[in-house]
Amino acid sequence: MKNIDKKYFRQGIDFLAGVDEAGRGPLAGPVVAAAVILPKDFHHKEINDSKKLSFRQREKLFEVIIENAISYSFSVISHSTIDRINILNASLLAMKKSVSKLKPVPQIVLIDGNKSFGANQNLIPVVKGDSLSQSIASASIIAKVIRDKMMSRLAEQYSFYGWEKNKGYPTKQHIEALLKFGPSPVHRKTFLKKIMNQSFQSEIIFNYD
């Protein structure tokens, strides 16, 4: 993987953060963002965009990253907030909160994608950054692993949808379960209108016993 982080380290930057999110596309559950500051001399050849890694690879690299990072953090934005402010704003909010928790304060923040958020640091959006920056890729792994674990726990409570496998993404199994059983309390209602061809009121409670 190319690592554009080195470009900024050569400019005299000591603390560079990468930030990324996981969970923009699912129909249910939160969006999770993570931010990471890695040592300037740290390099691991297996770190890459989390989507290109297997479950086992992500789990292994998650431990490597948190053991070696100068600082890392994550933030979770709920399904209800996603419905209220939309998924783009929720993703940017999660990333902003994650960066704000880092200590020391990074001099530069590389953001996966082409959008930014308000902060005091020098923010640099990087399109396909999770394939170009070791710091962003590390953040993508942390965010993905944490969100997957959350969805696996939710799958125990809402067993119809197969979240232990699909993590809330709109797979055939997930959509078929939605059409048969309706949405759970943690589904993103604004994501379901086209699939279900109707709006679901927030006060509806479903019994899964």
Residue of 142, 85, 138, 87 whose CA lies nearest to 110 = 138
Q: Chain centroid to CA 197: how far? A: 28
Written as six digits, the tokens of 85 are: 């402010």
Q: Are 188 and 82 in contact (CB under 8 A)?
A: yes
Residues in the chain: 209
Ligand-binding annotation for 148, yes or no, is no
Strand 71-77 relative to strand 122-126, pairing = unpaired
Ligand-binding annotation for 130, yes or no, is no
Q: Which residues are annotated as a binding site?
A: 20-21, 112
Binding-site positions for a divalent metal cation: 20-21, 112
